Structure 1
Amino acid sequence: MNPTLLDLKDIHEPEAIGWWPPAIGWWVLAVSIPLLIILLVWFYKRLTRKTALKTAKKMLAQIKQGAARDNLQKLGELSVLVRRVAISVSPRTKAAGLTGRQWLEFLDTSVKGTPFSEGIGQLLADAPYRKTPPTELEISQLIDLCEDWLKSQTKS
């Protein structure tokens, strides 16, 4: 047979592959990358929160057992400790700028009742301004209240 006599047509190339719809691998990446980022942020926040609370509990135990410190020093250290923990576990804008009554009300939100704004926790607001040291009973009650507050931070 003569190739010129046959009615042959030229080779047809397939159409170019379109960009839509993407292959399944791209869908998996589009879903898994944001989920991975969210998971890593959540894990980081949880890890830093646990570390802050664990460190705070150790520091509270040191304050509680510190026989060399007087009660006014213990009160100041408790005030600083509670403030640091609150800033570490809460949004900074929510806790960092609070003072006085607002600070005590913020602390009351995570414990039952109002022991900070109406109870022994009031010592934390006036700690830097006290001239007379609190009694041993007041310090022990305040330490117990701070322990309860730290325990309530692990639940939330």
Structure 2
Amino acid sequence: MPNPIDPQLLNQLHDIQLPQAIGWWPLAFSWWILILSITSIVIGIAWYIREQRRRNAYRRKALKKLLSIQSGELHPAEKIAKMNALMKQVALTTYGRMEVAALQQQAWLDFLHQKASYISQPDCLADCLQKAYAGPVGADIEHFQIENCARYFAKWIKGHHQ
């Protein structure tokens, strides 16, 4: 029986051979499912954001036009009349001609309130609209009333229900 501590025997021993490390490729089935799920979610979110931007393009255009009307050098009655015409245009775009075209005076204000009831209408809105369409008499519309109406119109454009 050979001596277990014999140096010749120890010299004949080879190093331990470790197996190769397990690689990432090919991926396991669960990794493919995860990649597919994450890709689908990202594509879905991108599509949703793009669709929302497309659907709300009229809001952005209307807000730009409202700002240009508000900052323009127009008679106060003309400003209110143009703002109201813009609101009608937005409502026609959103709700259709059958529902909006015939609305005027109190019915128009009720419609605006109904479609965005959480936005409070300024007290001067009905008075301003009436004065705006009364002709040259509409000159007594105050600057703060125009600002209140413009602020309300901007909030309504941003937040009305579809």
The TM-score range, normalised by the shorter chain, is: 0.5 to 0.7
Distance 1:138 1:89, change over 3 A: same
Q: Which protein is bigger by CA-based radius of gyration? A: 2
The equivalent position to 1:84 in structure 2, one of 82, 89, 95, is: 89
Query: In structure 2, what residue type is equivalent to 1:135?
Result: E
1:60 and 2:66 correspond: yes
The answer for the alignment partner of 1:120 in structure 2 is 124
Identical counterparts, % of pairs: 21
Superposition pairs for residues 69-108 of structure 1, below 5 Å?
A: 69-108=74-113
What is the CA deviation profile of residues 87-133 of structure 1, one whole-angstrom value per residue up to 9, with x for unaligned ones?
A: 011132111111111111000011326516xx222123552125132
What is the CA deviation profile of residues 23-53 of structure 1, one whole-angstrom value per residue up to 9, with x for unaligned ones?
A: xxxxxxxxxxxxxxxxxxxx7xx84x52321
Query: In structure 2, what residue type is equivalent to 1:132?
Result: G
How many residue pairs match? The answer is 108
**Aligned mates of 1:137, 1:75 — CA distance in 2:** 12
Query: Structure 2, unaligned stretches of length 5 or more?
Result: 1-50
What is the CA deviation profile of residues 68-87 of structure 1, one whole-angstrom value per residue up to 9, with x for unaligned ones?
A: 21211111111111111110
The answer for the alignment partner of 1:129 in structure 2 is 134
The equivalent position to 1:50 in structure 2, one of 35, 47, 56, is: 56
Contact kept, 8 Å, 1:63 with 1:74, in 2: the verdict is yes
TM-score (norm 2): 0.58
- Partner of 2:74, secondary structure, is coil
The answer for the alignment partner of 1:24 in structure 2 is none
Bigger helix share: 2
CA RMSD of aligned residues (A): 2.4
Distance 1:54 1:113, change over 3 A: closer
- Partner of 1:97, secondary structure, is coil
The answer for the alignment partner of 1:149 in structure 2 is 156
What is the CA deviation profile of residues 44-63 of structure 1, one whole-angstrom value per residue up to 9, with x for unaligned ones?
A: xx84x523212111101101
The answer for the alignment partner of 1:16 in structure 2 is none
Distance 1:125 1:83, change over 3 A: farther
Distance 1:96 1:149, change over 3 A: same
